[in-house]
Chains A and B, each alone.
Chain A
Amino acid sequence: MTNMKRKILGLVSLLSCTTSLTYALPFERCPGEAFLIQDRVAQLYSVDLATGFSKPLSTPGWTSAKMNALAFNLSDSYLYAYNYETGSISRLGADNSVVELNANMQGLSFFVGDISPTENAYYFYRSGSDYGLYRLSLDSLSDDYLSLQKVISGAALNLKIYDMAFHPSNGMVYAVDNQGALWKIDISNNTAEKLGNTGESGTFGAAYFDVDGNLYISRNNDGLIFQIDVSQSTPKAVRFASGPASSNNDGARCALAPIVTSGIAIADFGSAPDSYASSLQNNGARHAKGNGELYLGASISYEADAKLSELGNATTENDGVAFLNTPLRGKSALVSVESSGAGLLSAWADWNGDGNFSDDEQWLVDHPVAAGTAMLSYTAPTDAAIGESWMRFRLSTTPRLTSQGGAPDGEVEDYAIEIAEQPATTIFYPGENDRATLAFEDNWPLMGDYDMNDVVIQYRLAKRQLGNSLTHIEIEGEVVAHGASYHNGFAFRLPGLNRDDVIEALSHLSINGLPQASVMEPDQDDAIVIIAEDLHQYTTPGENCRYYRTEPGCGSNIQMRFSATITLQTGVPSERLGDFPFDPFLFATPGYARNYLFGEAPGRRFEIHLRGMAPTSAFQQNFLGRGDDASNTNVYYVNQNNMPWAMNIPAKWDYPSEYMDIHYAYPKFHDHIRSSGKEHLDWYNRENANTKNIFNR
């Protein structure tokens, strides 16, 4: 390297170093997070106001000073603070830089301050007749740059406040005093107006605004964050989240930023209807990820906002709570709760059925739990409202959570419950939270390719009864594969029951959360639940795929979920209803052709049932015996080898991939069949699969 080159490189290095020292890194243009400065040696934190989750931004040793009156300057995207060590102000960068500014502070110190979003000026307040409201220009081109000017005398404005914040649009400054009074200060005409009492008192060391004009105040002693809509005629403080507590506290944020960025998954939310406070707009219960290690059950999901459920259509993402029994009025009930770690568990139940969780409906308060499962007991009040209701569980390390608002860690899970008047029985198939699988070959009456994935449905059934009388039947499931070009409908016949046994007005069917107009098939004597007339209306192949979830690389999320509750007339004896899995079947969607054995679209006259199940009265009987079908009066839907076109497997089943004979996916299947089912009972379990020949996303 020549000397000249060395000199040039040395100069470049020196310039780079000088630049980094002089020009600290600003924050992003208008960040959504809030900033909090605490402690005698200042520590800077970012705070998610939606949940109260905070994390340190400053690194150890970034400053030795105590700072306060923190403010975000929209003009240059730096934070500013009063520095007790220098008696001046400091400019704080995103890179932990602290740049001292030589401001003439007239020997005064401040812990209350904010920067106007409309002018490049820093306002401070100090109570006492000798002090008041001050303005410090941050505009280096102004004549009074860094020169403190009093704008309102402390004699005229004597407030017991610990922080203040500029409104994002009206130019006013707002603050809440230690008695809970909300003040509006008009810096243009040097007046202040008391807007009323917010209902919360204390030392509110941090104040922030969001772009919608909501004021947030954080109370030092307990870290609680309250939201105040200052546009209301009588503004009230609503508990919003649980943040960090500190004796020395000051906050700032860009007042033009929303609290959350639309579409960004920020927290775990509840799922109860919004009357229970679930959505962010309704200050719903929500939990930040925290360190990601505390949740209910085996997993947790985070969302941008709550995915609301309606009664009878609860979401299935909850997995931490299992109810032993339906609570009876005045009787004990048990529930098991699984936690991933140590935390505090609280629970509420809407006992009076009024659509919200009131304070006196909290039945578990900060109950300490450890990792594992805990069995908990509760008692429904003797005057509890009979019928469907909701229960909410919240797990966090933060104590004293209410049924709404943010928490910095943990999880909330909401459950639809029923409060019963009489002791009931529920029988599940294959288990309360298990799934069975229906696998169809839909080329009936021609033999198919036995990949058993033309239609694959995973489902769960339940029947409820009081004494010996059936009261309800539940059907829920999802279409997990549709390796078919044919248009298939799907239904369950409830064997032994008549349509007249069903109270249709009290029965419900929903697909993907949307209620369907009808549940029972009309013009039938039998009770037949039509889940869908055409599964192709709900399932679509992926790009470059022929079918829905059967070909390698053609995975997609589940596109069709269904849930039905059938309410029965009083007094239907339980023994009239046939065994699980009832009688699920495919039928041809009207208007669509089948194979060449049908000259015209057979529509509802075409059915494929499990082996041995008779077709319904809508079926055209002379379709039997066509093609490879060898049905006879003893057994329906078998071919000459006694093989069926549909199989029911009482477990979640990983079905073969497209065109893959079941034998190649499950090598023990044939031996199982040949042994009349006596050997290889677990042939369908994944550990017995040739996993390369089953569908993999």
Chain B
Amino acid sequence: MSSHSLIAPLCLSLAITACGGGGGGGGGNNTASTADSDSANITPAPVQQPVVVDEPQPPAETTADLQVPEGFDLRQDYTLTVTSYIGDSGGNEFLTICRNYSENADGFDVDLKSCLLKTYVAGNSDYTVQARNTDDTLLVSIWKLDTPDQTQHRVWQRQYRDEEFIEIR
């Protein structure tokens, strides 16, 4: 039975997120540039002020005043590239990347309903998954379907790099 190593290399590059910029000139045109035919006789709905229920007052700034820094796209997830260099298992090995797991005396209990990726091991392959920004670790497992007790598990740790990836050899 071959064994495979799960490697999580570091990737060195500065964070560049998509769709930076925006804002600035030209915005804020409060009149329709092309008229839809009938006149505007609809009054804007009043925006009611929030009512804070007996909790300490946070700083008195509303989200209407909030400035989003240039280049921040507000995404709450990150892209993770998974590359498998394992040869075709003939349907006998299975790869999962799952969010929820716990360690026990025998290894790991994996919540199979929390998986981001489920795939048969079928030769060199690339997969792209989106993980939550709060996903500091994920559990990478290679299941031996005929001999489940030989399943391999490794915890992958997020490196907080521009490109996150997992290589499985």
Closest residue of chain A to B33 (Cβ to Cβ) is A622
* Chain A contacts for B148, CB-based, 8 A: 334, 375, 377
Closest residue of chain A to B121 (Cβ to Cβ) is A423
Closest residue of chain B to A667 (Cβ to Cβ) is B58
> B112 within 8 Å of A by Cβ?
yes
Interface 9-residue window, one of A15-23, A90-98, A171-179, A640-648: A640-648
Task: Give which listed residue, B28, B52, B112, contacts A323 with CB less than 8 A.
Answer: B112
Interface size class of B (residues with CB under 8 A): 35 or more
* Chain B contacts for A154, CB-based, 8 A: none
Q: Cβ of A428 and Cβ of B116 under 8 Å apart? A: yes
Task: Give which listed residue, A431, A467, A685, contacts B116 with CB less than 8 A.
Answer: A431
Q: Cβ of B68 and Cβ of A642 under 8 Å apart? A: yes
Interface 9-residue window, one of A60-68, A81-89, A324-332: A324-332
Given contacts A443-B45, A597-B40, A642-B22, contact A431 B68 (CB under 8 A): no
- A670, B48: Cα distance in complex, Å: 20
* Chain A contacts for B55, CB-based, 8 A: 690, 692-693
Question: Which secondary structure dominates chain A's binding surface?
Answer: loop
Q: Cβ of B21 and Cβ of A635 under 8 Å apart? A: yes
* Chain B contacts for A690, CB-based, 8 A: 55
Q: Cβ of B129 and Cβ of A626 under 8 Å apart? A: no
Given contacts A334-B145, A612-B19, A643-B68, contact A648 B76 (CB under 8 A): yes
CB distance from B11 to the nearest CB of A (A): 17
* Chain A contacts for B165, CB-based, 8 A: none
CB distance from A508 to the nearest CB of B (A): 22
Q: Cβ of A662 and Cβ of B38 under 8 Å apart? A: no
* Chain B contacts for A323, CB-based, 8 A: 112
- A37, B74: Cα distance in complex, Å: 69
* Chain B contacts for A663, CB-based, 8 A: 58, 61-63, 66
CB distance from A595 to the nearest CB of B (A): 6
* Chain B contacts for A693, CB-based, 8 A: 50, 52-53, 55
Q: Cβ of A599 and Cβ of B27 under 8 Å apart? A: no
| A645-689 with Cβ < 8 A to chain B | 647-651, 659-664, 667, 669-670, 673-674, 676-677, 681-682, 684-685
Q: What total of chain A residues lie within 8 Å of the partner, measured CB to CB?
A: 91
Interface 9-residue window, one of A240-248, A274-282, A301-309, A447-455: A447-455
Closest residue of chain B to A644 (Cβ to Cβ) is B74
* Chain A contacts for B28, CB-based, 8 A: 628, 630, 640
Given contacts A322-B111, A648-B76, contact A332 B145 (CB under 8 A): yes
* Chain B contacts for A432, CB-based, 8 A: 112-115, 118
* Chain A contacts for B74, CB-based, 8 A: 611, 644, 647, 673, 677
* Chain B contacts for A677, CB-based, 8 A: 72, 74-76, 133
By CB atoms of chain B within 10 A, which of A431, A449, A580, A625 has the most?
A: A431
CB distance from B62 to the nearest CB of A (A): 5
> What mask results when residues 393 to 435 of chain A are scored 1 for a CB within 8 Å of chain B, else 0?
0000000000000000000000000000001111111111110
- A450, B133: Cα distance in complex, Å: 22
Q: Cβ of B118 and Cβ of A692 under 8 Å apart? A: no
Task: Give which listed residue, B37, B41, B63, B130, contacts A643 with CB less than 8 A.
Answer: B63
CB distance from A554 to the nearest CB of B (A): 15
* Chain B contacts for A639, CB-based, 8 A: 27
Q: Cβ of A664 and Cβ of B37 under 8 Å apart? A: no
Q: Cβ of A434 and Cβ of B44 under 8 Å apart? A: no
* Chain B contacts for A451, CB-based, 8 A: 50
* Chain A contacts for B40, CB-based, 8 A: 596-599
* Chain B contacts for A425, CB-based, 8 A: 117-120, 125, 127
CB distance from A690 to the nearest CB of B (A): 5
> A600 within 8 Å of B by Cβ?
yes
* Chain B contacts for A643, CB-based, 8 A: 63, 66, 68
> What mask results when residues 119 to 149 of chain B are scored 1 for a CB within 8 Å of chain A, else 0?
1101001011110111000000001011010
* Chain B contacts for A556, CB-based, 8 A: none
Closest residue of chain A to B114 (Cβ to Cβ) is A431
CB distance from B115 to the nearest CB of A (A): 5
Given contacts A331-B91, A448-B47, A612-B19, contact A599 B72 (CB under 8 A): no
Q: Cβ of B42 and Cβ of A595 under 8 Å apart? A: yes
Closest residue of chain B to A690 (Cβ to Cβ) is B55
> B2 within 8 Å of A by Cβ?
no
A-to-B contact residues, CB < 8 Å: 322-325, 328, 331-334, 336, 373, 375, 377, 423-434, 443, 446-451, 467-468, 485, 579-581, 593, 595-600, 602, 611-612, 622, 625-632, 634-635, 638-644, 647-651, 659-664, 667, 669-670, 673-674, 676-677, 681-682, 684-685, 690, 692-693
Q: Could you pull out 12 A-B pairs where Cβ atoms are within 8 angstroms? A: A331-B91, A425-B118, A426-B117, A431-B98, A450-B64, A626-B32, A632-B23, A663-B62, A667-B58, A670-B63, A676-B71, A685-B134
